[in-house]
Every structure is written in structure tokens, then in C-alpha cells.
């Protein structure tokens, strides 16, 4: 049965290749690329100028494919957003870390692709080891106890979910674990406090929304030691991806309102009335935009795609960034973590002074807590709340007013409606596959939420762009001359192409 399924999948891939090779020939023969006052024609239209869209565009352009990227914002980068502050910081309001550098995952990539770009572009970084941590524990709790609870809990969940058929939440298992340990009220709060920081903080949502079994099975993989960008911000990666872009290949402030596909030429309508026509569309908008149904599709997206969009989790991670002329704290640790024996906000902190050599603290808050603060507090009120918590953490110091501050509001951003994806209670393994699958062989999808292994990570977004560029070039036949590669990134022979296609088919069968 598996061999029959493999043959069927390969036959479908072959049919796709033949169909889209014909589509490419039609484009080449017509030479009908034009840009009138309100209609633009191209081979591939990419919607979204974030990591996935820009990487796909780079590879397609290198291989001679006519490609245009349109972006609703007035800047490139998407959820990568770096800016220079008054005291010289280059801070990242969105993605900030290279999540590891060297791979140790069997069958995985040997090196984080973001790290590869940083090295190639000579972008300076600094290591931020996770154990470089200053933890604030309740007076009545020993740090060793709380850390041991967390390690035991993770082991407990891993064992309990191995044979589980349903996907209960982390909260479900946390409640059972706390009852098994007979925690006092204060111990229970300390236990949940560390879960709040180490699990909810990573997934940008609450324990009751994170599917424990799927999380343990498909946990986003990374590459060990983490790095941040020393002077340039994450924007340096975006700048590198766009360094050879020609004028007009990336068009900003193009807000997409409707996508029409499953026709000879797909069409995209923007809010300013411009129409883009293309043989293929690669949609890279964040999952939050798809969940909000901000783009009309004609015909409507199929049910299997809509179900995947609705079931995948999508969280909120906000930052309050406070800057001073002089560091008033004496700690040189990268991370601050506050564990509390009573319910309190703001458990996760980063000491940016250590990697930028300029005094600043980043406070992280997420999930419903972040949404509530976005919708009820002004920037000034958020700064006051954060200062009050700092005063509790450093009672022997009078906390001065910051000289500058930045408050993010990603849930209110109409081009993201949140931060990044996570494994939800309701989703299935198949949903992650469905998110990455094309519709009608014309509408393709990329972005971190479509990365089955590296969901939620910047390298997941980048690799998804490479995946879809490879699909367009080698499965759908857009490579103009498949015998003469135009760059190292396209140096794949016909034999290797068939190996890649067969590997994809085999992965689908084994899955």
C-alpha cells in the first residue's frame, strides 16, 4: 500500500511538473510582461516582504524567474523590525535571536541558515547562553527545588504523552503534577511561575492553549547556543537578502484585499486599486492575518486549508524596552527571571547592556496578559508597571526614570495580528502539513507557521521560503534552463531533482 501511495504521489508530482512547464513556456513565448498604470504582470508574485518572501524572491531571481514582492507595510522585514534609539542602541522590536548555530539533530540541517547568512555577510553577533541567568526566587523557596520541579515536570509530560491518543493541554498535566507533589499554595504559585516563564514565554501563550503531546512530538528544533546581533539588529539579515534587488521588484504599501486563483492567470487586488497578474502566487503573510480573514479568496480556500489555519496556534509576545544613560543594576547576566510565590506579571527579562554595551532592559510579556495590556494601558502606564516590578526585584536601588522606552503592540498590528505560531490543543500533525501545501497548483504558502519542524522560528520562515522556491523551480518547472544553473543555490542536476522529489514523496508516505 505504501509503494502504491508513493507511486501515486510521484505521478501527481510529475503531472504538476508537466502542467507548469507548459505554463512557463506560455509565459516565455508571449513575452507579455507589462506594467500599465494599474496592472502589473509577472511570473511569480510574492505577497509579504518578510524572511520567507525575500528569501524565495532572491532564489527565484537568481534563476531568471520574473518575480515581484509586494508588502503592505512601509518597510521590509515583516515581524523583523530593528530601529536605532536615542542612546545608540539598535534594538529589535520583533525577532531578535539566531536560535542556535550548529546542528546536532539527526537528519537535520548542520547549520542554522540564519547563522550561515550572518557569517557570509560578516554581521557581528554575540552569544547569549541560556545559563547566563540571574533568577529572583521567593524567600521561602530554594532555587534548586523550583528548577528540579520543572525538570521533573517535563520528564513527566514526556512519559505521559507517549501513548496518549488525545492532546490534553500543558495545564492539564501541570495540575495533575502539582497535586501529585502536594504543593502548598506558595509552592504551587512558584511552580506555575516557572512554567509561565519557560514554557508560556517560549510559545507566547497560556498553558491551557498548548497541546502537550504534539508539543513533545514536534517541538520546534534549534541548534544549541543562541546569538543576538551586536550592532546591526536583525535588519542586517533583511538588508543582505535585498542587497541586489532592482527598483520595482519590491513594492511597499500594497495592502492585498483579494486573491483570485485557479485560472489561467492569478490576480491580486490591492487597496489602492492596483491589479497584479501572475502565473503563481506565493503567500507569506503571518498566520494571524489568515486567521483574521483579512484577505478575500476567489474561489474560497478549501476546507482542509481553512481548518489548518483555524486550528494552528498563534500567540502574542510583546516587549517593554527601557533605556538609561547609565546602568543602575550591577548584574552582568544576560537574563533575569522572576519566580513568584504569588501571581505576578513580568517574569522574563533580558539585560541588553551585555550585548550592546549600552544600558537597556527588555521585559517580555505574552498571551492574554499581553493582549490585555495592549488594549487597556497606554505606553506610559506600561512603563510605570514595569518600573514598579523592577523596584520589587531590586529593592535596595532607587530605579531612575528611563531616558527612552519602546512598547510593542503586535496583536494590534494589522499586518500580523500577533507574534508567531505554536502547537495548539486542537491541531493535528496533518494540519502542519496542510499549512504548507499549495492550493490548485497556483497559490503557494510560506512563512514560519508553514514550517513543520521549525515553526515559530526565524530560520523556519527562511527555510519555508527556500522550500517554495525549490517547488516552483524544480517541481513546477520554472527554471529557465535546468542544465545550466545560474548560481550555486540552483546547482542541482536533473538526477538530484528526481532524488529530491522522491524524498519528498517518501516523507509524505512515512508521515
As a whole number of angstroms, the distance between CA 69 and CA 61 comes to 11
Under 8 Å between Cβ of 218 and 161: no
* Burial (CB count <10 Å: 0-12, 13-18, 19+), residue 344: middle
Q: What is the largest CA-CA distance in the chain?
A: 77
Residue 504 φ/ψ, nearest 5 degrees: -60, -45
Asked whether the CA dihedral 473, 454, 158, 315 is positive or negative, the reply is negative
**For the residues of 120-142, what is the DSSP string, one character each?**
HTT--EEE--TT-EEEE--TTS-
As a whole number of angstroms, the distance between CA 31 and CA 252 comes to 26
As a whole number of angstroms, the distance between CA 46 and CA 463 comes to 15
**Residues ≥6 apart with Cβ < 8 Å to 248:** 35, 68
As a whole number of angstroms, the distance between CA 54 and CA 249 comes to 11
As a whole number of angstroms, the distance between CA 312 and CA 427 comes to 6
Classify residue 169 as left (phi > 0), alpha (psi -120 to 50) or beta: beta
C-alpha distances in Å from residue 48, one per residue of 52, 78, 123, 128, 445: 8, 7, 24, 30, 11
Residue 214 three-state SS: helix
**For the residues of 26-93, what is the DSSP string, one character each?**
HHHHHT---B-SSEEEEEEEEE--SHHHHHHHHHHHHTT--EEEE-SSSSS-TT--EEE-TTS-EEES
Is it true that the peptide bond before 299 is cis, omega within 30 degrees of 0?
yes
- In 3D space, the residue among 499, 475, 128 whose CA is nearest the CA of residue 335 turns out to be 128
Question: Is 256 marked as binding a ligand?
Answer: yes
Find the helix or strand (DSSP H, E) in which 444 lies.
strand 443-445
Residue 269 three-state SS: strand
Under 8 Å between Cβ of 373 and 318: yes
Which grid cell sits at 99? 536560535
Question: Is 52 marked as binding a ligand?
Answer: yes
Q: Residues annotated in the binding site for substrate, as ranges?
A: 364
Q: Residues annotated in the binding site, as ranges?
A: 52, 256, 364
Q: Residues annotated in the binding site for FAD, as ranges?
A: 52, 256
Amino acid at each position: 500500500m505504501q509503494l502504491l501511495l508513493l507511486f501515486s504521489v510521484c505521478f501527481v508530482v510529475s503531472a504538476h511538473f508537466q502542467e507548469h512547464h507548459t505554463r512557463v513556456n506560455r509565459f516565455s513565448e508571449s513575452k507579455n510582461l507589462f506594467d500599465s498604470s494599474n496592472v502589473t504582470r509577472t511570473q511569480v508574485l510574492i505577497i509579504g516582504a518578510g524572511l520567507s518572501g525575500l528569501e524565495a524572491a532572491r532564489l527565484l531571481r537568481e534563476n531568471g524567474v520574473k518575480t515581484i514582492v509586494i508588502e503592505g507595510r512601509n518597510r521590509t522585514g515583516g515581524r523583523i523590525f530593528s530601529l536605532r534609539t536615542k542612546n545608540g542602541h539598535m534594538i529589535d522590536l520583533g525577532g531578535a535571536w539566531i536560535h542556535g548555530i550548529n546542528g546536532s539533530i539527526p537528519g537535520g540541517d548542520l547549520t542554522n541558515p540564519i547563522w550561515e547568512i550572518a557569517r557570509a555577510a560578516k554581521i557581528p553577533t554575540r552569544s547569549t547562553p541560556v545559563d547566563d541567568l540571574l533568577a529572583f526566587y521567593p524567600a521561602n523557596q530554594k532555587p534548586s527545588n523550583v528548577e528540579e520541579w520543572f525538570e521533573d515536570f517535563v520528564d513527566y509530560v514526556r512519559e505521559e504523552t507517549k501513548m496518549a491518543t488525545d492532546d490534553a493541554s500543558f495545564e492539564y498535566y501541570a495540575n495533575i503534577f502539582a497535586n501529585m507533589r502536594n504543593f502548598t499554595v506558595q509552592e504551587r504559585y512558584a511552580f506555575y511561575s516557572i512554567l509561565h516563564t519557560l514554557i508560556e514565554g517560549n510559545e507566547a501563550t497560556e498553558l491551557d492553549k498548548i497541546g502537550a503531546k504534539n508539543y513533545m512530538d514536534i517541538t520546534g528544533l534549534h541548534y544549541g547556543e543562541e546569538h543576538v546581533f551586536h550592532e546591526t539588529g536583525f535588519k542586517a539579515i533583511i538588508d543582505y537578502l535585498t542587497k541586489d534587488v532592482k527598483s520595482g521588484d519590491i513594492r511597499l504599501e500594497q495592502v492585498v484585499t483579494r486573491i483570485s486563483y485557479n485560472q489561467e492567470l492569478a490576480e491580486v487586488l490591492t487597496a489602492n486599486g492596483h491589479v497584479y497578474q501572475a502565473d503563481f502566487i506565493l503567500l507569506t503573510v503571518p498566520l494571524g492575518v489568515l486567521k483574521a480573514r483579512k484577505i478575500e479568496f476567489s474561489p474560497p480556500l478549501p476546507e482542509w486549508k481553512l481548518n489548518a489555519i483555524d486550528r494552528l496556534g498563534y500567540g502574542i509576545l510583546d516587549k517593554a524596552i527601557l533605556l538609561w544613560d547609565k546602568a543602575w543594576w550591577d548584574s552582568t547576566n544576560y537574563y533575569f527571571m522572576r519566580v513568584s510565590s504569588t501571581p505576578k506579571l513580568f517574569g522574563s527579562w533580558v539585560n541588553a547592556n551585555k550585548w550592546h554595551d549600552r544600558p537597556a532592559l527588555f521585559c517580555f510579556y505574552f498571551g492574554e496578559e499581553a493582549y490585555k495590556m495592549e488594549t487597556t494601558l497606554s505606553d506610559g502606564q506600561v512603563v510605570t508597571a514595569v518600573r514598579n516590578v523592577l523596584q520589587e526585584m531590586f529593592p535596595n536601588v532607587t530605579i531612575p526614570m528611563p531616558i527612552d522606552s519602546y512598547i510593542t503592540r503586535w496583536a494590534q498590528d494589522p499586518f500580523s495580528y500577533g507574534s508567531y505560531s505554536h502547537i495548539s490543543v486542537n491541531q493535528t500533525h496533518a494540519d502542519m502539513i496542510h499549512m504548507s501545501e499549495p492550493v490548485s497548483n497556483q497559490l503557494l504558502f510560506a512563512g514560519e507557521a508553514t514550517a513543520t519542524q521549525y515553526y515559530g522560528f526565524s530560520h523556519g520562515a527562511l527555510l519555508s521560503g527556500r522550500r517554495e522556491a525549490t517547488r516552483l523551480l524544480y517541481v513546477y518547472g520554472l527554471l529557465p534552463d535546468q542544465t545550466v544553473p545560474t548560481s550555486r543555490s540552483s546547482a542541482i542536476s536533473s538526477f538530484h531533482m528526481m532524488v529530491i522529489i522522491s524524498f519528498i514523496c517518501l516523507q509524505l508516505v512515512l508521515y
